[in-house]
Each structure stands twice: as C-alpha cells, then as structure tokens.
Structure 1
Amino acid sequence: MAADDNDITSKKARSKLAAQNTIYWKTLKPGLYLGYAKRKSGEAGIWIMRTYLGTEVTGTASPYQKQNLGKADDFASNDCLSFAQAQAKAFELQVVREKQKKAGVKTGPMTVAEALEDYLANLKAEGKATVVDARRRIDTHFLPTIGKIRIEDLTTDKLIKLRNTMATEPVRLRTAKGQPQKWAAAPVTPDEQRARRSTVNRTFAILKRALNRAYKNGRVHDATAWQRVERFRGVDAPRERILTVEECQRLVNAADAASGLRDLIHGALLTGCRYGELCRLKVADFQNGRLAIHKSKSGKPRDVRLTAEGRAFFAQITAGRKPTAWMFSKQDGRPWGDSQQGRPTTAACLAAGIEPTNFHQLRHTYASLAIMNGTPLMVVAQNLGHKDTSMVQKFYGHLTVDYQDDEIERGAPKFGIVRETNVVPFKEKAI
C-alpha cells in the first residue's frame, strides 16, 4: 500500500491541512513513511513513523508498525520537532531497527501482553508492593482475553465490551491449585453490582497505566482507544463502618492470643498499618519509639509515629527477642501470609459480639478515631503513608466537617442576645 505524498514539510503547509482522525503520510523511502496527525485545529500535530514489516506479520494483522516521534513545531520549537528533525529521527530509528532485526531482537508491534509485562517489570524494579495484586489481576482478566492483540488494533468498543463483561461476571473464589475454578454467585443486588463495578474500575486502571506507559515510551502512536473508556460512575464504596473504642477493646480481648491474632489486631489499631506492612515487620523495625516501614504499597519507606500506649505495646512484644525475628508471627513461629487474616478476624468479631468486619477496617478505624480526636489531616495522612491529604479527605472528610461543627459550637463567641419575635416556626402535620 503506497502512502499519500502530502505536503507536511513546512508549518505553512501543515496549517492548511484539515484536522481529521486519519494521518497525513509522506513517503521517505520504500517501506518507510513519515506521518503527521492533526487531531484538532489550533493544536500542534504529532509526527508518526510508519514502517512496512512485510513477512514479519502473518494472518490478518496489519503489515505496518507505527511509532510516535513527538510533537510538531507548529506553534513552538521547544521540545518539538521540525519536519527535517522528524525525518532524521525516523531514518535513525529505522537503522536501529534493522540492526536489531539482524541480531534476532523482536522489533514488531507491541502486544497488550508485552505492555503489561513491561509495566509489571517496572513495578518490581521500583519496589512497589502492588506488583503481586497487579500480576493476579492481569493474569485473570487481560492476558486470556486481549493479551495477544496488538495495542494498535485495540478499539474503544473492544475495551468497553471487556469492561462490561467483567462487571457482570461472578467473583472468583479462592481455589486450590490444580482444582477447577470456583465461582461465587453473579452480582444481583444493587450493592453487589456497585461493588463489582468498583472492583472493575481498579482492575481496568492497571491496564490503562500499562498502555499509557507504552504510549509514553513511543511504542504506540495513539492512546485514544483506552482514554475514551470511562470509569463506572457512582460506585465508590459507601462510608466504611468504624469501630468504636469500646468495640476495639472487645475485639482485642476476644481475638485468639495463642495464634498471634490478638497482637496483630492490636498492632493494627495502634498504627493504622496495612496487613502486609505489619506482616513484614521485624523486631529491629521498632526503634526510638517508632516503627520503620521499609516497603509500603507506594514503594516508599516511612516512619510510623506512636502514642505512649503504642510505644509501650511494641516495647513489650519486642523485649528480649532477636532483631531479625518476625514482629508478628503465628503460633508455629512463621509470619502471617497472604489472606490468612480474614477468617480469624471474622471469628474474633463474632466472639466479641460485634458485626463482622475485615482486617483493613482496622486501618480505617485508626484514621477515623484520630481525626475525630482532632489530629490534623496531614499528620494522619503521613502516618498512613499517603503523600497528601486527598485520600484521607475522600474517606474521612465527613468526620472533619462534624469536628469543625463541634469546634465552632465549642469555641466561637456567644453573646447571650435573644431577639424577641412573634414568629413561631411552622411545624408540619404528621400524615
């Protein structure tokens, strides 16, 4: 297929071209083309290189590979490429590609699976604790469905269809290795459907981040297909149930001490740490009255500040123990593992006579009680491992409003002046 030889060599010529979804192409040499994408009038266009792959592609896939080269210098020169610069870059990349091809290095179009694997490798390199969860979601939802598809062949319709299918699927249950997959019932009630769509939002965000990384690295020329796929709206979880101080006391007392659960729950309530963070703690991580979290969800370390009660608790459970020992361990001395806290926590709630709650709610309880006691949002956010107050405000903003109301009532000036009036507030009749 021959490319159309459009005049894209100068700013003046490009300014006369109409904005459109298709690309204006110019042949540089047989099998190599330079494209100019002008999506909107008044905005700088994008230079795109297209290479003919020939026999490297089989089946119905397109025999062309596209690569984003950068913005055109339509309105500015900084960080933008002129036609001559884009042309030189295309020739340079073509030489590199030919050398890679001779060396046996794969140079064809990037598939969704390759983008996802690259994303996971980057998470691992950055030490992000989310890599395990991301790996599970990718293996379950994306590799079997769209993994083999080239990113360039993705369409918004395909992605929306996948998103909607995921939202109606039953939840996968934990299944022993080698056994047929077990499934829960499909979501039926409004709350089940809301929860499922919320999960899909989080899972689809992983796919988008991987594809955006491929786009940023120049492996694909257009990100429109997935950027048009919107999140499900209005599916954020309702306000979390927060335990009262009295309920926390009952829960700690009811938790099994011999199994190590009691100390684990107590530690969570005193710190707001995530389950995984607590499981990775060593005795040596309690120093100078603080806890050192070396690996968090974000991958960044932090120090957790403690109350006097918290310092006394950690001093007690670490006293006389080896620095390399697990701070929280099970009865057999081994550390707590993935998803081993769920059922014991539910059993402890039932024994305490309170509504069952999951372990992560202990983190929410810590944050809520701290805020209601007047702790500044930024202090709470930093102790939880957030870079700013946005997440704290999202989940606990209503608590700060209540607190502010109480503080105004307590501290704002009162003058004791009562205006006399004959107006009586209207009371509605009971129906």
Structure 2
Amino acid sequence: MGRTVKDVRLQDRASRSRLPVSADIYWRTINEGCHLGYYRGARGGKWVARHRKAGSGTGYVKERIGEADDVRDADGITVLDWKQAQAKAHDWFEGQARGGVKPAGPFTVGDALDEYSANFKTRTGAVPTDMTSRIEIIRAVLGELEVASLTQTVISDWFNARASSPKMVRTKKGAEPSVRPVDTKEALRKRRSTANRLLTVLKAALNLTAETREWLPVAAWAKVKPFKGVDVANRRYLNDDEARRLVNASEPEFRPMVLASLLTGARYGELRHAKVKDYDRQSRTVYLMEAKNAHPRPAYLDDEGTQMIETAVAGKAPGDLLFTRPSGTQWKQADQLRRMNDAFDRAKIDKTTFHDLRRTYGARLARKGVAMAVIAEAMGHKDERITRKHYAHLAPSYVSETVRNAVSGMGIVEKTNVVPLGKSA
C-alpha cells in the first residue's frame, strides 16, 4: 500500500463539515495521475478515486469507492474515514495500473441483485421478505443476462410481460399449479402495480451497480417508465362488529395473533418475530424489532392490549417468542392464509388479508380524529403522506362537515323505518 497523505480539509469529519455543499469534488493528489476526491452532498459525503495512466494521453477513469464517515461511523467496508479511503484508493489505483475497470468475467443482473441485497443489509441490518421475493422473481428471468449487454428493449419486454402475465394462485401441497387470468380492468391494474414494484427494485440494483462502473448502459433501464395511476390505497377495513366476529371465529391457537394486530397495528411478520423481552410493562409498549425496512418501532398498548400481552408472556422466559404455534415453534409466513380464510367464512365476512387487521387499527384511529402525524408514528410510516393516502378520508374534517351541512335540507328522500347497521331504532 502507498503512503498516507494528509489534508487538513478532508482528514476529519469536523473539517469536512465546514466545506460548502457543492457539485464539484474536492481533490487531493495521492501520486502522479492518482487522486482521492471528496464529494459533499446535502446528506453526507462520498469518496471518489480517479486515475490517469502515465503517457496514455487519455482522460481520467473515476470510481466511487465508499461513503464518507460524515454521518455514520466508519466500518472499513462501505463507510470509510480518510485513512481507510486512501487504502481502498491505493488498491484501486494498482488495479487500474494492471489493466482497466471491467471485471475479468461477465457481470450479470444476478450479480447486481446480490450486490444490492448485501448493500441493503449493511445499511439497514436486514432485507425485508417482500424485497427478497421480488429479487428472486427478477433473477428467475433476467439473472443470467450480462448487465453490459442490457438494452431498453430487453427491459421493456420483461416489464410489459410481467404486467400482463396471469397471477399465480397459491394451492394446497401436491395440487396442480393454478393461475388467475388478467381478464378485467382491476386485474390488469393490480398486475401493473406489481410490475412497477419489480421495476423499482431492478432499477435500484442496477443504479447502485452503475455508480462504480461507468461503462454500464444506464439508459437501458433509465428510459423504462413505470405505469401511472395503478397504485391505489386499499380501502378494506373492518368495523368493530366485524372485528369482534372475526376474533370469535378465529382458531384458539391463532386468535392471539389476530388480537395483537387489531390492538397494535402490527404486521404479521412483526408479530411472529416478537419476543417476551420486547414487552415493557412500565411503559405498556411492545418494541417491534423485525419491522418493515428494518426500522424498529414501539407499539402502544391500551388496557385490552396490555391484558392480551400479559397473557402471552405468562410463564415464558425473556428470549421466548410472544406468539407461537401449538407446538411451541414460530409461526411461518404462510400459516395465516388458511386460518384467516376459515375465520372469515365462519364469521360470514367478506374475505380479506391479515394485513387488513393493521389497516383496521389505523382506520379506528383516524375515525377518532387522531392527527395524521400521530397515526404515522404509531404505525411506523416513514412518511406522513403514506398515512394520508390510506386514512385521511376517514378522519373528521372541516371540508367533510362543511360539504354535508351545505347540501343538506333538500327533502327529496322519503323517510323510512330503515336504520343503519350499528344504530338502534
């Protein structure tokens, strides 16, 4: 490794914090034709290396080699301090001197997906199940293709095929595979929405790859645009009567999971990973560690919720799971499907999903007039806009009351003895 040079502007985070945010890179010469640069963005800095082979007469080759330790402490892998950045730059300079930036073997979409998954895990601690599923769906078709050979046509054809392909239907073990045809506007909307999510993951993986490989054809995927107007908020919520009927109709061993979601707004995955030690009796909260996007959050308990959790923790050790199957093992991802369908049949309620129990929790808060910011915090939404998309129409508001008062009083509907459900005559 080459010598380590000093630079009072760049060698510590305090000095770098005083540099203005700029599109220009602050360069420091390491050796002839070799420079280490620092790019200061609004959300932190990046280390960039550039190299020009002596006597070549060509321009510089650049590569981003890591994130600066402006916000997070250096780990020597993806987040680097000044000394670590120089060490990594020296290794890269030596590679350049031996021959170029392209890898010896083909770099495939599958390799890009692996890099993206590893990077996501490094930054957040875990890769969500739904993202892992989307990565594998992409890999099944595009995984063996070389990224350098991708074209807009290849990406567009794959994307459009996903948007119009029949949806696979889950069947019992040993049964023949089954599909649901895309034969209605609603079915087509859902398939296009799913295709959009896959495209988002694919673009994120390829963009991350292209940050350090300037020779990749970014335009091949950048020009493929998602479908517009296909993502709509799910409007399925249970009213209090339906929620009680569903709880009573649930299998006894699965009932605690249903109760917990209705009383905390927790996702199925969060509940099946929750442990006894995550419950704080004094603050009456359950800390959900396996939350979506690896952002742990507290679930706040009312009297019923506290009673439910106290029952769940009775006789268990701190490291035990809060909710388990009758065998004492962890609930699996697919265990809720049949149990939910059977419970809806017994309760005589239109079938929906376990996730709608979480939506029911959010809807109850909105109907009570709870501020959107509070609901967002309680449900672990990263952005209040997500909360408004799903629940703002349920909340009492000046607009809704003003409109109702303004249009009332025409007297054109004959009064009857019909009483809305949930109200007494």
TM over 0.5: yes
Counterparts of 1:162 and 1:181 in 2: how far apart (Å)? 26
Q: 1:278 aligns with which of 258, 271, 287?
A: 271
Q: Does 1:393 align with 2:388?
A: yes
Task: Give the aligned partner of residue 197 of structure 1.
Answer: 192
Check conservation: 2:107, 2:147, Cα contact below 8 A: yes
Counterparts of 2:61 and 2:144 in 1: how far apart (Å)? 19
Task: Give the aligned partner of residue 325 of structure 1.
Answer: 320
Check conservation: 2:171, 2:178, Cα contact below 8 A: no
Q: Identical aligned pairs, as a percentage?
A: 31
Counterparts of 2:163 and 2:175 in 1: how far apart (Å)? 22
Q: Deviations over 1:312-336 (max 9, x none)?
A: 2212322332222211111121111
Check conservation: 2:63, 2:212, Cα contact below 8 A: no
Q: 1:261 aligns with which of 254, 257, 269?
A: 254
Q: How is 1:186-225 mapped onto 2 (pairs within 5 angstroms)?
A: 186-218=181-213, 220-225=215-220
Task: Give the aligned partner of residue 112 of structure 2.
Answer: 115
| Structure 1, unaligned runs of 5 or more | 1-46, 52-65, 71-89, 415-423
Task: Give the aligned partner of residue 237 of structure 2.
Answer: 242
Counterparts of 2:128 and 2:186 in 1: how far apart (Å)? 28
Give secondary structure in 1 for the equivalent of 2:286.
strand
Q: 1:355 aligns with which of 350, 356, 360?
A: 350
Check conservation: 1:127, 1:295, Cα contact below 8 A: no
Check conservation: 1:372, 1:403, Cα contact below 8 A: no
Q: Deviations over 1:48-92 (max 9, x none)?
A: 9999xxxxxxxxxxxxxx97658xxxxxxxxxxxxxxxxxxx999
Instruction: Report how many residues are paired.
Output: 329
Task: Give the aligned partner of residue 19 of structure 1.
Answer: none
Give secondary structure in 2 for the equivalent of 1:184.
strand
Check conservation: 1:285, 1:293, Cα contact below 8 A: yes
Give the letter for the 2:142 counterpart.
I
Task: Give the aligned partner of residue 95 of structure 2.
Answer: 96
Give the 3 Å change call, closer, same or farther, for CA 165–316 of structure 1 in structure 2.
same
Counterparts of 1:92 and 1:112 in 2: how far apart (Å)? 25
Instruction: State the Cα distance separating 1:407 from its structure 2 match.
Output: 6.3
Instruction: State the Cα distance separating 1:285 from its structure 2 match.
Output: 1.2
Give secondary structure in 1 for the equivalent of 2:294.
coil
Counterparts of 1:266 and 1:395 in 2: how far apart (Å)? 22
Counterparts of 1:139 and 1:109 in 2: how far apart (Å)? 20
| Structure 2, unaligned runs of 5 or more | 1-48, 54-59, 65-88, 413-425
Instruction: State the Cα distance separating 1:358 from its structure 2 match.
Output: 0.6
Counterparts of 1:50 and 1:165 in 2: how far apart (Å)? 44
Counterparts of 2:393 and 2:348 in 1: how far apart (Å)? 27
Instruction: State the Cα distance separating 1:171 from its structure 2 match.
Output: 2.1
Check conservation: 2:234, 2:390, Cα contact below 8 A: yes
Check conservation: 1:382, 1:388, Cα contact below 8 A: no
Q: Deviations over 1:208-241 (max 9, x none)?
A: 1101111223454552221211111221245421
Task: Give the aligned partner of residue 368 of structure 2.
Answer: 373
Q: 2:289 aligns with which of 294, 310, 332?
A: 294
Q: How is 1:413-428 mapped onto 2 (pairs within 5 angstroms)?
A: none
Check conservation: 1:172, 1:181, Cα contact below 8 A: no
Instruction: Return the TM-score normalized by structure 2.
Output: 0.68
Give the 3 Å change call, closer, same or farther, for CA 403–332 of structure 1 in structure 2.
farther
The higher radius of gyration belongs to 1
Give the 3 Å change call, closer, same or farther, for CA 387–143 of structure 1 in structure 2.
closer
Instruction: State the Cα distance separating 1:129 from its structure 2 match.
Output: 5.0
Give the letter for the 2:158 counterpart.
L
Q: 1:146 aligns with which of 130, 142, 146?
A: 142
Q: Does 1:342 align with 2:341?
A: no
Give secondary structure in 2 for the equivalent of 1:292.
strand
Give the letter for the 1:153 counterpart.
S
Counterparts of 1:157 and 1:272 in 2: how far apart (Å)? 43
Give the 3 Å change call, closer, same or farther, for CA 95–197 of structure 1 in structure 2.
same
Give the 3 Å change call, closer, same or farther, for CA 68–131 of structure 1 in structure 2.
farther
Counterparts of 1:93 and 1:263 in 2: how far apart (Å)? 55
- Which has the higher mean CA deviation after the structures are superposed, 143-152 or 264-273? 143-152
Give secondary structure in 2 for the equivalent of 1:341.
helix
- Which has the higher mean CA deviation after the structures are superposed, 328-337 or 213-222? 213-222
Instruction: State the Cα distance separating 1:161 from its structure 2 match.
Output: 0.8
Check conservation: 1:271, 1:366, Cα contact below 8 A: yes
Instruction: State the Cα distance separating 1:392 from its structure 2 match.
Output: 0.8
Give the 3 Å change call, closer, same or farther, for CA 295–207 of structure 1 in structure 2.
same
Counterparts of 2:145 and 2:127 in 1: how far apart (Å)? 25
Give the letter for the 1:96 counterpart.
G
